Amino acid sequence: MNDLATTAAVRRPAPGRRAPAALRRAAPALLAFAAIRVLGVLVLAAWSAAHGKDWHTLLAARWDSLWYTRVAEQGYGYSVQLANGDVHSNLAFFPLLPWLERALSALSPLSAADAGMVVSWLASLAAAWALYLAGERLHGPRAGVALAALWAALPVGIVQSMAYSESLFTALAAWGVYGVLTGRWVCAGVLASLAGLTRPVGAAVVAAVWITAAVTLWRDRAPDGGPRPARHRRMLLGVLLAPLGWCGYFLWVGAREGSLTAYLDIQGGWGNGFDGGAAFASFLWDLGFPAGLGLLAGVALVVWLYVLGARRGQPLPLLVYSGAVLLLALTAKGYFGSKPRLMLPAFPLLLPLAAGLARWRPAWAWTVTGLAAAGSAVYGAVWLNGSGPP
């Protein structure tokens, strides 16, 4: 691991990195991100109209969005029993997005569903800002702009505009990991806790905080080999704060249902759980040769991007975070069509591509980004107008 990777977690931010200045620097990235996402929504609206569907319903009031809205409006306790005996409980959905939907709808004329879409749109901009800062810190301003634009132009980027929790989670996770990179440990701990109230994969942010803190303590141990916690009080406070959201919801569900493993049982009712990737491997096999091989190539590409980032000295908190997101996504059972969406928050995978794009001539870089944005817009429109959930 090179010097960048070993020191990034403990370097203090430069005095000029205050919020207004950082926002001004990020303005090109935010404009590029917003333009790509607006294109995606416009193409979705046109495609939906041509197929007799409503783009607004697809973004705000379908699939998981309905479950979040029900939690916001009625609270927890709703469940549906399927014909095969499985039970789908709304306790499977973490509470931060429904809380925000309820608060925003109470303070405005918006319905809970529309409030969820607004939260996602604003959160996606906040995530793009954090992505810009991470890319700028590691590879320069152009890489920061490229990282935000590439994340917007992912094939599943339309999810960033839906009343789903991915945008909110990515914003909290990206800012939390950036807090670790810049030595803002208490802020990182608070954001990790909030991420843990948003999605189960909030555990990945906790892991980034904990493992980076452990490595930092190990490297800064006393001459006798013992730790020196007095020099890292704020870091230890961040470590204590980080798991409170995730653990708090997990334990609350357990207390409500009378079982410590209640949340895992509820996920099992949805057909979710972790089996080391066995179910995913079986799914690939059942697809047959052409489709299965294509999907396997996609997985190999994602893993290659992770390895490439590690070989190029990506800082430890980014590696831990993206590695945990990938591990949880690829080893989980459930609806396999959702796996690309589950990997959406793993933005550090795009850093090698962003760094490479930043070295190109601007005309070529923007041409490639524009083509990716157009492809993302068309794919998102076709995807959401299909029969299954994203």
pTM of the predicted structure, to 2 decimals: 0.93
Name the more confident of 271 and 78: 78
For the stretch 19-65, pLDDT in tens is 788 889 999 999 999 999 999 999 999 999 999 999 999 999 999 99
Coil, strand, or helix at residue 334? coil
List the chain domain ranges. Answer: 3-384
What integer pLDDT is reported at residue 8 of this predicted model? 41
Of the pLDDT bands very low, low, confident and very high (cuts 50, 70, 90), residue 3 is: very low
Tokens describing residue 124: 């996606």
What integer pLDDT is reported at residue 221 of this predicted model? 73
SS3 letters across the chain: CCHHHHHCCCCCCCCCCCHHHHHHHHHHHHHHHHHHHHHHHHHHHHHHHHCCCCHHHHHHCCCHHHHHHHHHHHCCCCEEECCCCCEEEHHHCCCHHHHHHHHHHHHCCCCHHHHHHHHHHHHHHHHHHHHHHHHHHHHCHHHHHHHHHHHHCCCCHHHHHCCCCHHHHHHHHHHHHHHHHCCCHHHHHHHHHHHHCCCHHHHHHHHHHHHHHHHHHHHCCCCCCCCCHHHHHHHHHHHHHCCHHHHHHHHHHHHHHCCCCHHHHHHHHCCCCECCCHHHHHHHHHHCHHHHHHHHHHHHHHHHHHHHHHHCCCCHHHHHHHHHHHHHHHCECCCHHHHHHHCCCCHHHHHHHHHHHHCCCHHHHHHHHHHHHHHHHHHHHHHHCCCCCC
For the stretch 302-361, pLDDT in tens is 999 999 999 999 999 999 999 999 999 999 887 777 889 999 999 999 999 999 999 999
Of the pLDDT bands very low, low, confident and very high (cuts 50, 70, 90), residue 227 is: low
Residue with tokens 């977690």: 9
What integer pLDDT is reported at residue 295 of this predicted model? 85
Q: Is it the case that residue 2 has pLDDT exceeding 70?
A: no
Residue with tokens 């490439």: 308
Judged by average pLDDT, the poorest of 112-121, 191-200, 207-216, 219-228 is: 219-228
- For residue 133, give every residue at least 6 positions away whose Cβ sits within 8 Å of its Cβ, in sequence order, or none: 22, 26, 144, 178
What integer pLDDT is reported at residue 224 of this predicted model? 63
Burial of 251-272, coded b for 16+ CB within 10 Å and e otherwise, reads eebbeeeeeeebbbbbbebbeb
For the stretch 184-206, pLDDT in tens is 999 999 999 999 999 999 999 99
Of the pLDDT bands very low, low, confident and very high (cuts 50, 70, 90), residue 9 is: very low
For the stretch 110-156, pLDDT in tens is 999 999 999 999 999 999 999 999 999 999 999 999 999 999 999 99
Q: Is it the case that residue 222 has pLDDT exceeding 70?
A: no
Name the more confident of 51 and 222: 51
d(Cα 26, Cα 29) in Å, to the nearest integer? 5
Selection from 71, 97, 91 nearest residue 265 by Cα: 91
Contact 302, 343 (CB under 8 A): yes
